[in-house]
Structure 1
Amino acid sequence: MMILSLFDGMSCGRVAIERAGIPVTAYYASEIDKFATIISHNNYPDIVRLGDVTRWRTWDIEWQKIDLLIAGSPCQGFSFAGKQLAFDDPRSALFFVFVDILNHIRKHNPNVKFLLENVRMKNIHKDVISSLLKVDPIMINSALLSAQDRKRLYWCNWSVTQPEDKNILLNDVLLPVFSDDYLCSPGWHHWWEKKTVSTAKEILINL
């Protein structure tokens, strides 16, 4: 399967596809975050990296061979934790770039499959996305499969059902024993020790 991943992050889409047992013949990724790209490159040096999604018209891709388009477009404008700017947030407005790319691929491959993920949002914004993609989303809570309560919307052009609840609790994933260095680097410990001694000296001087 030939896959194009937009807003690819550290290529978790590639991880999920491989865990599902789907063979990957080529994986194209669009991502601009340098740290996410470093992780992705370390895990998958074979990925073809395309850079900025807004420059998609310059990409050298055999569009007719793309079997699956996946994306998790920026959610800041839709999140209830944000300012609710929706499509007026330039980051969340990148959804329309996803639509442009999907429509372009469909000209060359009408049977292309797609998957778009985003946060739970107001119905007025959800309906705009659904109308452009011509499918309704399914909301899946990651708590069914992990120890994290994370409700997300998924738009795709194939049938998807709710996964079976694995009944995974937080205690099931916490490490029983770990060193202090797991949470803080040795350098941070050294800084903290010096700061503690310095503060103690100030207290004694001012007594």
Structure 2
Amino acid sequence: MESELQTNNQAYPFMIVLSLFDGMSCGQIALRDMGIPVTRYYASEIDKWAIKQTQLNFPDTVQLGDVRNVEARTLGHVDLLIGGSPCQSFSFAGKRVGMSTTAHEKVLTLARYMELKEQGFEFAGQSYLFWEYVRILAEVREANPNVLFMLENVEMGKQWEAVIDQALGVKGVHINSALVSAQVRKRIYWTNIRTFQADLFDVPESAIPQPKDRGILLKHILDDEVPDRFYLKPETIEKLLQHKQRNKANGNGFGAKFHQGGDCPKTIAT
């Protein structure tokens, strides 16, 4: 099997990748597992522990820091832009304010975001950072108009999904990771890899098919015998419960869920 990425009849024998909101570089793990050689991998991330893990696994990663300060024009040619911008303000578990200022103005275009950013306005939550992805995509396209991209985010209200569709010029494909894992994780993926034009008056749609359901359940990935050190201590559980109560008081549903009994002989959090 050749190590190349086939998209729209184009072959990429190597890749220069820019990953925004890189986390522990799962994008780099996926490319490695697909057999796609990466010549250079730029990563934008601010969490020190995620960066430390990335550099342990992939020491050649070029860390760029805060996405708001990334100057993509200085990077030259980029083949692939990936990322998963913050989801909390989109999520049905949160307050769903989307991309808004603290004064409740909805930010619907990159141009308006750039005006507000320049004027020093404060934004609600972190989901507004999607516009940094769009800004950087535009800058990357100056050197490579055919750059491939993929953005991941959570299931959200139709209004904000439509804003992202228009900003990226493609409709997102909805995939639940429960099809391929033991976790219910409903997400939307926007990409210009494999698209088709279903409606001449609307943006293109993704031709990426739904994964086959592998029927993986939590009981399939849990070990029968696990040392006690891998279970949460009572004081840790208490702190997680307090954290969940604080989130509930703030009007959102973020927090751990605890399971005990059945296939889970001890208390675990998910």
TM-score computed with the length of structure 2 as normaliser = 0.66
Q: Counterpart amino acid of 1:109?
A: N
Which position in structure 1 is the counterpart of 2:181? 146
The alignment yields a C-alpha RMSD, in angstroms, of 1.5
Question: Are 1:44 and 2:70 counterparts?
Answer: no
Q: Counterpart amino acid of 1:30?
A: S
Q: How many residues align?
A: 184
Counterpart CA distance in 2 for 1:5 and 1:47 is 10
* Runs of 4+ with deviation above 6 angstroms: none
Counterpart CA distance in 1 for 2:74 and 2:79 is 16
Shift of residue 60, structure 1, vs aligned partner = 4.2
Which position in structure 2 is the counterpart of 1:82? 94
Q: Counterpart amino acid of 2:70?
A: W
| Unaligned residue ranges in structure 2 (runs of 5+) | 1-14, 101-123, 195-207, 237-270
Q: Which of these two proteins has the greater Rg computed from alpha carbons?
A: 1
Structure with greater strand share of residues: 2
Which position in structure 2 is the counterpart of 1:100? 135
Paired residue secondary structure (1:94): helix
Which position in structure 2 is the counterpart of 1:163? 211
Q: Counterpart amino acid of 2:38?
A: V
Indicate which of 212, 221, 227 corresponds to 1:179: 227
Shift of residue 50, structure 1, vs aligned partner = 0.3
Asked whether the equivalents of residues 72 and 139 of structure 2 are also in contact (C-alpha less than 8 Å), the reply is no
Which position in structure 2 is the counterpart of 1:11? 25
Structure with greater helix share of residues: 1
Q: Go from structure 1 to structure 2 and tell me whether the alpha carbon gap of 1:150 and 1:184 turns closer, same or farther (over 3 Å shift).
A: closer
Which position in structure 2 is the counterpart of 1:133? 168
Asked whether the equivalents of residues 86 and 92 of structure 1 are also in contact (C-alpha less than 8 Å), the reply is yes
Counterpart CA distance in 2 for 1:68 and 1:161 is 20
| Unaligned residue ranges in structure 1 (runs of 5+) | 189-207
Which deviations, in whole Å up to 9, do the C-alpha atoms of 1:19-71 show, x marking residues without a partner? Answer: 11111111000000111111111111110000011111287412xx2000001
Asked whether the equivalents of residues 50 and 59 of structure 1 are also in contact (C-alpha less than 8 Å), the reply is no
Indicate which of 5, 16, 21 corresponds to 1:2: 16
**Identity across aligned pairs (percent)?**
50
